[in-house]
Structures are given as structure tokens and as C-alpha cells.
Amino acid sequence: MKDALSRKARLSTAIAVAAVAVLSWLYAAAPAGAAAPASDLSGMWWANSYSPSMKTYLVGGGDIPLNDAGKKKYAEIQAGLKDGSITDRSRKYCTPDGLPRSLATPYPFQIIDAPPGHISWVYEQNRMIRGIAMDKPLDSDEKLSVIPFWNGHSAGHWEGDTLVIESGGFNESTFADATGLPHSDQLKTTERVRKINGGKQLEDIITIHDPVYYARDWQARFVYDNHDGLRMMDYICGEPHRDISHIKGINEARAANAARAPAR
Amino acid sequence: MQRALQPVRESAMAECFPFRRNWLAASVAAGALGFSAVAGLALAADEPAPRLPSGVPDFSSNNMGWASDGIEFFPVPGEKFVPITSDPAHPYCGNRILPKCGNQNLPPIGDTANPILQPWAAAEMKRTNAAILGGKEAFEAMGRCWPGGVPGMMLFTAEPAYFLQTPKEVTILYSRGPNIRHVYMNVPHSKNPAPSWLGESVGHYEGDELVIDTIGLNDKTFIDFYHTPHTTQLHVVERYKLINGGKRMQGIATIEDPGAFTTKWSALHYYIKHDLPIADSESICAENNDANYFNADQAPIPQTKTPDF
């Protein structure tokens, strides 16, 4: 039984990896414009669609590969969110979304090639900051566990025109998506980020490794449009924010939230 | 969110330190203690400061952040008008200077006789002072996880701030909060920017200085931790300069607000380097501050009734 599951898991992983490879080839081959400049992702980026469920972004389709512990935890979180015994602090108090949830933000974010030795991701939503140390390995698990971060600790390097970001050292205060998908403090992620479509878009494919709650690694893919020239705005929890009603899927998400109010 | 007097816990400095990072607070305080002996006496002598390849001064901290030296503004030497200081009858004694003031915490009571204050501003501060002396604690934006405004943000960088310098923008990332300021370089202000917590900032370099001009501020914050009020007419020009070979930084704010002050005035503040790269710095104010510790009647931290999305 275990071997069968293992074979199934390996097969699923292989399918997902193949899907990423095909997608990557398609996007690399598709643009007719000028090639994106290598090693510079600086700019303002903004998704044009939003889904509360990570399943929407899952590479290869199908279901999120929760293991038994993951299914149990997911059910507990969803029940807790429904009866109010669990708070979605990222929406109630606007604490950071963590990974991979923050990648689904329907608000703009900025990538800044600074300070020296770092690349910084600055989000409008929840005023999140990700400081990515470049060209140095991620700290050891032992060191990362001393002070776990909401958005994890990140280290990056370039592989051609792709920024590879490895993250670990997450706390367990966030969900993997807005539906309450779980992750543990053993979560590790690898993101491959690059410009596509001649630099008009940014692609971030994240690999989720969390053996506590998932039967195998899985990947989610996010695409953002370039909005250079757009200025960031204040984002204060509970105050009016910029109009994002044009983001596909946002009105449906808000309607669903309103039906579940109050926030918790 | 109104700025009106609301009971809040003691010091803004204490509020946003997640408990597990008390070492950081302690180290910042220790550094501040060592430096405070010279701060405010005179502008520090210049030594060559690091510069970026483009030739502009390098505020990017070389894998470090800038931490505030205390939470008070100092007078700018030679200036006639000075920032609000402690009421002589009620000297402030906070964690940073405890050994020098009897090791007993005393709250910040601003000197309402300072001639920069318009009568209504002085009256508002008197009400605040009376409430504090009566045992209550006044609302302080950063202490309750709201942005500190400008120039307030200059004071409350107990946890490091990072200057990200690019040709078109200087982005200041304040770990504490976090808070983010976007300074658009070499462009004019837009016409009538909508009031916001951190306003609209444009900037340029003048020799060794980074000059930041800010308007469009709401009136929900205070100028300083003495609860000096301001209006939406507030106009702040900050001038940051590396001193002592880039080991420290000074910031001078020139403040105009015809709605709150009788005159233009300036204030000085200093920063010390904090050995914490941005990749290792995360301090989420709302992490521990949603609880009503000690049953104090605190102002609420920012929160939603219905999720944004």
C-alpha cells in the first residue's frame, strides 16, 4: 500500500514537473517582442485575477496533495474559521500572509534591487516586506527555527534570467491560502521568478515542501502584469483601500466574505 | 480613527517589541545610552561618508539598518525656535535615560509654553498632559500599530529602518510595524494629494544630503511623543546626512503648519547603525498587541470587521 502511494506520489510529482517545463517552454517561446533583460525584475507588478483557493493556481491541476494529517488539519482550520474559534489574523489584523498565500495578493507589489546584496519585495497589502539575501545559502534549519518569520527567511540567486528564492523558517501563524489550507513550521519553498511575455509580465512558480501536511511537493504558478509608474498607496487595516474591483474574482471573494462576516 | 485622547499604555517604544525580540530592544537602548551623551550638543563633525557608484551618499547601511537614538527631537544648534521638550515641572524619564534620572519611569509631559504652539495646540496638549498625569495614557499611533506619520516616523525607528536607493525612488522600510515610505526622486508634488498617514514624499540629493519633502499628511498622528498635534496643512522637509564616516546618520526636519504652529521650526535627530540585515529583520506590530494587556484601556490596533477580500 505504502509503495503504491509512493509510486503514485512520484508519478504526480513527475507530471507536475513536466507541466511546469511545458508551461515554461510555452511562455519562453510565445513572446514576439524584445527579450526580457536578465537579472532585473525591478518594477511594479500586479495580478489581474484573484482566487482564495491555492487549488486555482496549482500546476498540473487536480487536488492539493494533502496527506492524512493535512486533511485533518485543514478540516480543523476550516471548522475553526467557521465557528470563530480560529482567527485569520492576516485579514483580521493584517499581519503578513506568509507563503504561498502572499503570492495571490490582488494588490500591487514592488520588487526593488536594493539594498546592496539584497532584493526587496514590498507589498501594498498589509505593508508586507520580504528581504531576500542574495548569493548566500539559506541558514541552517536550527538557526531558522530560532526566530521564525511570518513570511519566512529567504535567500536568492540567479540562474540565467530567473531569480531562484529559497525560503524557510516560517512561523505557523499563517495559512497557505485564504480557505485555511495548512502549513507547518517545516515548510520550505523554492520560487523561480522571471519576466515573461517580453517583460510585460512576471511569473512566479513556487514549490511547496511540507512533509508534515503534504504527501508530496506541489507547485503553484502566479502571473503578474507590469505596472511601472503606478504608485503604492497606504494600506491600513480596516480603512478604505485602493479600488481593486476590476481584479477578476475579487468581487466573488468579497461577497463570500460578507456572507461570513464578521472577520475572524 | 480619531487622534483624540485615548488611554493607551506607557511608551510607544515598548509596544512594538515582540517579546521574543527583547534583545533587540535592549541592544538599541544600550547603544542609545552610549551615544546620548553627545547627541544634541552639536552637529557632528563630518568625515568622508560612503557613496554609491552614482556619486550620491550611500544610506543603504551596508547590511545594517538605522535605529533611532532615543525618541526625542533635539534643538538644531543656532535655531531660534526649538522642538517641544519636556515640561520643566515634569521631566521625562524613560528607559533610555533611566540611570540619569533616578531610575524611575516618568511619562512624557510636553512643555506647552513653547512659543511654536498655537493656542489650540497648546490647549490640546494641556488636556493630554492632565490626562497622563491623572494616570491615563495617551494615544500614540506607532504604539498601537498605526503609522507614525511624518516627522513622527523619524523618532520611532527603535527597530532598524532601511534606505533602498534607486534613481527614481528611495524606499524607506521600517521593520517596526512594518511601515513603508516611498520617496519619488526628482519629481514635483502632485496637486492636492489626498491626506494619508505618511503623506506624499518627493526627494532629491543636495551634496551630502538626502532631502525629502512631504505634504498630504492626515491629522491622525502627532509630531513627536509629547503628543504635539498638527493639521493637514503640515509640510515637512527632512534632510538626512551621514556623519562620522557613515557610522551614524543625522536627520533634520523643518516643519511648517500654519494650522498648528506660529512659525516654521526645525528639529534634529540622530540614528545609530544596527547590525541586522534586512533579510533578518521582521517585526510585526500586530503580532502581540491585539491583546489588552494588564486590562489597560487601550486604543484598538488596526483591524477589520469584514475581511478586505
| B292 occurs within a structural domain | no
Q: Smallest CA–CA separation between A233 and chain B, in Å?
A: 9
Confidence at residue A36, expressed as pLDDT on a 0 to 100 scale = 41
| B305 occurs within a structural domain | no
pLDDT at A140 exceeding the cut of 80: yes
Which letter does DSSP use for residue A17 in this model?
Answer: H
Q: Which of B182, B282, B292 best tests the A interface by mutation, with the highest count of A CBs <10 A?
A: B282
Using a CB–CB cutoff of 8 Å, tell me whether B281 touches chain A. yes
Confidence at residue A25, expressed as pLDDT on a 0 to 100 scale = 45
The CATH fold of domain A2-260 = Lipocalin (2.40.128)
Using a CB–CB cutoff of 8 Å, tell me whether A143 touches chain B. no
Q: Which three cell numbers stand for residue A52?
A: 482564495
Using a CB–CB cutoff of 8 Å, tell me whether A155 touches chain B. yes
Confidence at residue A18, expressed as pLDDT on a 0 to 100 scale = 53
- State pLDDT tens for residues B17-56: 333 333 333 333 333 333 343 444 445 556 788 999 899 9
Count how many Cα atoms sit within 13 Å of the Cα of residue A215 in the half-sphere of its side chain. 19
Q: A136 and A153 in contact (C-beta within 8 Å)?
A: no
Confidence at residue A264, expressed as pLDDT on a 0 to 100 scale = 55
Residues of B in contact with A95 (CB under 8 A): 284, 286-287
Q: B251 and B240 in contact (C-beta within 8 Å)?
A: yes
Confidence at residue B44, expressed as pLDDT on a 0 to 100 scale = 52
Confidence at residue A19, expressed as pLDDT on a 0 to 100 scale = 52
Q: Which three cell numbers stand for residue A110?
A: 514592488
Q: How far apart are the first and last CA of chain A?
A: 40
Chain B, 221 to 280: residues with Cβ < 8 Å from chain A are 277-280
- State pLDDT tens for residues B190-227: 999 999 999 999 999 999 999 999 999 999 999 999 99
| B17 occurs within a structural domain | yes
Residue B93 vs residue A222, higher pLDDT: A222
Chain A, 163 to 192: residues with Cβ < 8 Å from chain B are 173, 178
Residue in A112, A233, A257 nearest the CB of B309 = A257
pLDDT at A7 exceeding the cut of 60: no
Cα angle, residue B157 at apex, residues B141 and B208 outer, rounded to 5°? 125
Predicted TM-score (pTM) of this structure? 0.85
Residue A137 burial by CB count (10 A; 0-12/13-18/19+): exposed, middle or buried? exposed
Using a CB–CB cutoff of 8 Å, tell me whether B283 touches chain A. no
Please state which of the ranges A77-81, A117-121, B166-170, B304-308 shows the lowest mean pLDDT: B304-308
Q: Which of B23, B218, B309 best tests the A interface by mutation, with the highest count of A CBs <10 A?
A: B309
- In chain A, which residue's Cα lies nearest the Cα of B166? A114
ipTM of the complex: 0.84
Confidence at residue A261, expressed as pLDDT on a 0 to 100 scale = 56
Taking 70 as the pLDDT cut, the residues of chain B under it are: 1-46, 61, 157, 290-297
**What is the total count of domains within chain B?**
1
Q: Smallest CA–CA separation between B50 and chain A, in Å?
A: 13
Residue A66 vs residue A4, higher pLDDT: A66
Cα angle, residue B61 at apex, residues B57 and B66 outer, rounded to 5°? 110
Q: Which of A123, A157, A236 best tests the B interface by mutation, with the highest count of B CBs <10 A?
A: A236
Residue numbers of the domain that contains B149: 12-284
pLDDT at A77 exceeding the cut of 60: yes
- Confidence band (pLDDT; 50, 70, 90) for A147? very high
Q: How far apart are CA A178 and CA A101, in angstroms?
A: 7
Residue A235 vs residue B7, higher pLDDT: A235
Residue in B20, B282, B304 nearest the CB of A237 = B304
| B300 occurs within a structural domain | no
Chain A, 2 to 41: residues with Cβ < 8 Å from chain B are none
Percentage, residues of chain A above pLDDT 70:
84
CB contact under 8 A, B60 and A93: no
Percentage, residues of chain B above pLDDT 90:
60
